[in-house]
């Protein structure tokens, strides 16, 4: 993932402000639409259609990948799905709905076939079998289903982006004769902006490159200096019009004031020097020779290589030097409930991308012992934390669980494979930071819920 821990601090802090009404950082919350907070996105790209009458689409899976990556770079927690069946889409929408409650922003993006029937818009899953107009409501997902989830979630801002206005290839089976594009939007939850790849009743191009025309324009706009929603959509529209020879113009429905006030917040990915510094900071007070050997193996010519070599020589020369961190000393100074933001970066392994990810959950500390759980023990994509915070604030944390999707796992191992790793860090009475030093760069940032 492109989002990085240091730049995510403001996002985490304001999430706590909104969700738990605590003052962790002095900041203005006057503009709720643009104030920092929890942002959730569901991104779906369907292209591998199975019905002969529904042509396969090359771009949507790529569109979903690229939009998801961009949104992660803006601090969104992204649910990314490709080539979903009807059941898969419904499950993804339900997961989305369960996460957006009270969030600052909820964003839904879909690329694929979209069909209108009697002024209702349906997003088509890859296993749809559409024999007639009457079958569409049972074979597709009504856009209102997503809008209802957003309405129930009461997010500060709702954004819907549809690159789904492609020509209806099976219109001959429809009594209504509708064959072009999607219908204009009806009612939507308050604070909602709906973006169509083209005007209602018109069709959108799938694109000759990696992305559809609308998504390509959107990705270009995401690289601009002005990242208000209004500017992003204006730039994207101009890109689409130029690329299509002015035959396609995106359509936007929603409050202009919201479009101007909502901003996509840029997060900056630190370079290797910053990652190396984080590694070194996590081990510089260690009395375990293996930590410095690990550093030198990863950074043989690193900025702290000489320090690491000297420290390693001292530890090996002194037979009385402890080979492992001292036993934890119980302390109640750090006891309480803590919010954690765990960010693991994208890495390349033998030329293959292993996607990064961001997790948010809570841990509890009692008598210095830290415990936390994300997901359910024994199920895929679960994580258990167990460690100690010593009286001086140094922390040793063990992590274990079961892998989730292979695209996020080092080695691309299959789902449900057990894993374990370690984090080291330091805590104050209100905040903490711990770093994973095995396999991939990860950092956990903690803030106490006071």
Task: Find the mean pLDDT for residues 36-40.
Answer: 77
Asked if residue 34 has pLDDT above 90, the reply is no
Other C-beta atoms lying within 10 Å of the C-beta of residue 360: 16
Supply the pLDDT for residue 186.
60
Mean predicted lDDT score pLDDT of the chain: 79
Asked if residue 213 has pLDDT above 60, the reply is yes
Distance of CA 270 to the CA centre of its chain: 18
Asked if residue 401 has pLDDT above 80, the reply is yes
Supply the pLDDT for residue 310.
85
Asked if residue 287 has pLDDT above 80, the reply is no
What is the β-pairing status of strands 192-196 and 157-163? parallel
Q: What percent of the chain has pLDDT over 90?
A: 31
Task: Find the mean pLDDT for residues 16-30.
Answer: 35
Supply the pLDDT for residue 336.
92
Between residues 149 and 30, the one the model is more confident about: 149
Asked if residue 307 has pLDDT above 80, the reply is yes
pLDDT tens by residue, 97-106: 989 988 999 9
Supply the pLDDT for residue 325.
47
CB–CB of 6/343 below 8 Å? no
pLDDT tens by residue, 316-354: 887 554 444 444 455 788 999 998 999 888 888 777 888
Asked if residue 197 has pLDDT above 60, the reply is yes
Would you identify the CATH topology of the domain 31-261?
Rossmann fold (3.40.50)
Asked if residue 185 has pLDDT above 80, the reply is no
* CB neighbour list of residue 187: distance below 8 Å, 6 or more residues apart: none
Asked if residue 155 has pLDDT above 50, the reply is yes
Q: How confident is residue 21, by pLDDT bands cut at 50, 70 and 90?
A: very low
Distance of CA 124 to the CA centre of its chain: 24
Supply the pLDDT for residue 169.
54
Task: Find the mean pLDDT for residues 172-200.
Answer: 63
Q: What percent of the chain has pLDDT over 70?
A: 78
Task: Find the mean pLDDT for residues 45-57.
Answer: 88
pLDDT tens by residue, 342-392: 988 888 877 788 888 888 899 999 989 999 999 887 788 989 999 999 888
Asked if residue 9 has pLDDT above 70, the reply is no
Asked if residue 19 has pLDDT above 50, the reply is no
First-to-final CA distance of the chain: 30
């Amino acid at each position: 993932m492109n989002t990085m821990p240091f730049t995510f601090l403001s996002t985490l802090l304001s999430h706590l402000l909104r969700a738990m009404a605590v003052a962790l950082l002095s900041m203005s919350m006057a503009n709720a639409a643009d104030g920092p907070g929890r942002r959730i996105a569901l991104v779906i790209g369907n292209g591998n259609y199975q019905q002969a009458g529904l042509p396969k689409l090359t771009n949507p899976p790529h569109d979903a990948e690229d939009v998801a990556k961009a949104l992660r770079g803006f601090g969104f927690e992204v649910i990314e799905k490709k080539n979903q069946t009807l059941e898969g889409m419904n499950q993804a929408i339900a997961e989305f709905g369960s996460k957006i409650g009270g969030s600052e922003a909820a964003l839904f993006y879909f690329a694929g076939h979209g069909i209108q029937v009697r002024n209702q818009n349906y997003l088509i899953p890859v296993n749809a079998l559409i024999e007639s107009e009457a079958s569409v409501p049972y074979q597709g997902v009504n856009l209102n289903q997503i809008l209802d989830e957003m309405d129930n979630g009461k997010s500060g801002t709702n954004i819907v982006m549809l690159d789904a206005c492609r020509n209806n290839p099976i219109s001959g089976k429809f009594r209504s004769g509708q064959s072009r594009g999607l219908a204009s939007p009806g009612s939507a939850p308050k604070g909602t902006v709906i973006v169509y790849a083209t005007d209602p009743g018109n069709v959108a191009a799938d694109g000759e490159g990696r992305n559809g025309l609308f998504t390509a324009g959107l990705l270009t706009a995401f690289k601009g200096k002005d990242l208000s929603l209004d500017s992003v959509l204006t730039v994207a529209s101009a890109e689409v019009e130029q690329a299509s020879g002015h035959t396609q113009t995106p359509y936007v429905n929603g409050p202009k004031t919201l479009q101007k006030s909502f901003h996509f917040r840029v997060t900056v990915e630190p370079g290797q020097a910053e990652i190396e510094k984080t590694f070194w900071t996590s081990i510089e007070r260690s009395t375990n020779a293996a930590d410095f050997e690990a550093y030198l193996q990863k950074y043989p010519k690193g900025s702290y290589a000489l320090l690491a070599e000297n420290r390693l020589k001292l530890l090996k020369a002194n037979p009385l030097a402890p080979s492992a961190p001292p036993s934890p000393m119980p302390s109640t100074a750090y006891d309480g409930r803590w919010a954690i933001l765990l960010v693991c970066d994208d890495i390349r392994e033998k030329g293959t991308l292993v996607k990064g990810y961001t997790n948010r959950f809570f841990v509890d500390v009692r008598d210095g012992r830290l415990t936390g759980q994300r997901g359910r023990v024994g199920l895929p994509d679960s994580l258990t934390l167990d460690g100690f915070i010593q009286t001086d604030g140094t922390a040793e944390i063990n992590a274990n669980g079961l892998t989730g999707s292979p695209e996020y796992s080092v080695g691309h191992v299959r789902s449900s494979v057990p894993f374990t790793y370690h984090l080291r860090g330091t805590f104050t009475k209100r905040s903490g930071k711990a770093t994973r030093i095995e396999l991939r760069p990860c950092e956990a940032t903690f803030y106490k819920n006071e």
